Amino acid sequence: MTRSVGLSQTERTINNQNKPYHPKQHPKTGSFFSLYSPKFSIYLLITCALLFILFQIQSLQTPPSSPSSSPLPSWAFLNQWQKVIINTTPSTSTFNNDENNLTKSMAKKLRESVTFLPLKDLRYSSTAQQGHTWFMSSMYDTHEEGEAQYQRFPSSASKGRLLCLKGNDTHDGAWNSYALAWPEFLPDNSTLRKGITFVSYNHYNYDNIWHGLSAMVPFVAWHNKNQCSLIPARWILYHWGELRIKMGPWLKSLMQATFGEPLHIETFENSVANCFEDAVVMRHNEGGMSRQKRIEVYDLLRCKARIYCNVSLEGRLSEVNRRGMPVIGMTMFMRVNNGPRSFKNESAVIGIFEKECTKVEGCRFIVAYSNNLTFCEQLRDLRQIIPGDSSPGPSALLPVDHGMLTRGSKESLDDSTLSSLLSAQH
Ligand SMILES: *[C@@H]1O[C@H](CO)[C@@H](O)[C@H](O)[C@H]1NC(C)=O
Ligand SMILES: *[C@@H]1O[C@H](CO)[C@@H](O)[C@H](O)[C@H]1NC(C)=O
Ligand SMILES: *[C@@H]1O[C@H](CO)[C@@H](O)[C@H](O)[C@H]1NC(C)=O
Ligand SMILES: *[C@@H]1O[C@H](CO)[C@@H](O)[C@H](O)[C@H]1NC(C)=O
Ligand SMILES: *[C@@H]1O[C@H](CO)[C@@H](O)[C@H](O)[C@H]1NC(C)=O
Ligand SMILES: *[C@@H]1O[C@H](CO)[C@@H](O)[C@H](O)[C@H]1NC(C)=O
């Protein structure tokens, strides 16, 4: 009780800054002393301790040459105390203000020091696909044995910083840029995008199913590594740093089947900075992945595609011909685009393969056009054609050791090879 009275008195003194301290209060304090002697001595002790602390604060804030550091008589001491209280109150808040100002100015500086660099670094145009590549060239990939090379933001490699991307140029990647920023100090006017973002770099394009799939494989591997639990909230597709907002329908279907929901491909309708809560960047396709990992990815793709298309393998018997020989299905999957890579004389090519097929007993030849079949139609057609038991296993269908999946010779693979990769049985 006494103590609380004493404290409230102190508070009043602190609050009534304008009212000068009056020595008339002394006799009153004296009467308290005589009435509550034992308790009051404790009170006095506490007050003295408080005064001592306050005095110390004051002496810290005043230069050592000031008279406050010299011993003072009691009245002068109390006078000094009053000054301390009066001075300390604003000076403490000044100190806090300074600290706040400092924190604020540091935060401002951190936000302003976020530096955007061009996504496409022309200094490395001759080694565009090697090492740190020319895409986000200041960043290095994380590479675990046998896994796809990747970058994750935030991570210890990024020192906890998030990836920010700016720009929506679709013709020159040097106009789009990237930066790293700490989540507490994102650049001014930037938007924080929640969830997982997949950022893909593709040296070719996302329409061709071979090039497109090559760019997707490391993401599927990453997804698989995370027990298929992390579904991307958005995909950001780049080609030479240029934004791409579309993916071929075949690839899109396959990715939809794999991730279990439609893809959200980022379009960046404005050019302000976007920072991503969690981003995974892949720029080496399946580079760095072991053969085993690639097989796992294709297995997963096959499974997911079958589920998506409701293709059941049950009740399917290996077809046999009249003489009990297993039927060997041969499907030519044609891509009709009349482009530079189409056959000059399609019927001539078809004729050659058909002739070869007739030489083999039990061979059945079919020509299919992938452009007018839906993704699931392709899968079903091929399922019906390729016999389960005599078909080669997935390892034979992924001839990575023969250079077919390695860079430089991938032109040798066409859409039909890929489709058969997906529809092959074990
Ligand atoms: C804090 O900063 C603002 C502007 O930057 C300035 O006006 C103000 O005086 C500063 N306060 C202190 C206590 O330094
Ligand atoms: C943020 O946006 C405001 C209003 O659009 C603009 O005035 C300001 O310059 C922008 N700041 C930066 C750093 O772009
Ligand atoms: C890119 O952003 C600008 C505004 O910053 C906008 O006018 C333009 O339409 C955007 N381009 C695309 C392709 O979304
Ligand atoms: C697969 O089956 C489900 C339910 O039977 C159906 O809703 C879905 O449309 C089917 N998907 C395809 C691609 O046929
Ligand atoms: C294409 O090849 C077939 C069979 O070899 C031939 O009959 C036909 O004339 C050729 N067409 C053209 C346009 O060369
Ligand atoms: C698919 O396209 C090919 C060539 O364009 C054509 O010959 C064939 O009849 C088409 N099939 C269907 C089912 O439309």
Sign of the torsion formed by the C-alpha atoms of 32, 37, 43 and 46: positive
> Which residue, judged by its Cα, is nearest atom 10 of ligand 1?
101
Ligand 1 centroid, distance to 62 Cα (angstroms):
21
Half-sphere exposure of 33 (CA within 13 A, CB side): 9
More confident residue, 297 or 49: 297
Ligand 2 centroid, distance to 272 Cα (angstroms):
10
Beta carbons within 8 Å of 351's beta carbon, 6+ residues apart: none
Residue 365 pairs in a beta bridge with 330
Question: Residue 209: phi, psi to the nearest 5?
Answer: -70, -25
pLDDT digits (tens, 9 = 90+) for 181-228: 999 999 999 999 999 999 999 999 898 888 999 999 999 999 999 988
Q: Which residues line ligand 5 (CB under 6 A)?
A: 345, 347-348, 351
Coil, helix or strand for 92?
A: helix
Q: Which residues line ligand 3 (CB under 6 A)?
A: 168, 170, 267-271
pLDDT digits (tens, 9 = 90+) for 81-96: 555 555 555 555 666 7
At residue 52, the pLDDT reads 58
Coil, helix or strand for 200?
A: strand
Ligand 2 centroid, distance to 189 Cα (angstroms):
6
More confident residue, 17 or 280: 280
Q: Which stretches of 119-268 are assigned E, i.e. beta strand?
A: 151-153, 162-166, 177-181, 191-201, 234-239, 242-244
Q: Is the model's pTM score more than 0.85?
A: no
Is the per-residue pLDDT at 30 higher than 70? Answer: no
**H or E stretch at 40:** helix 37-61
Question: ∠ at Cα 51 (50, 57), nearest 5°?
Answer: 95
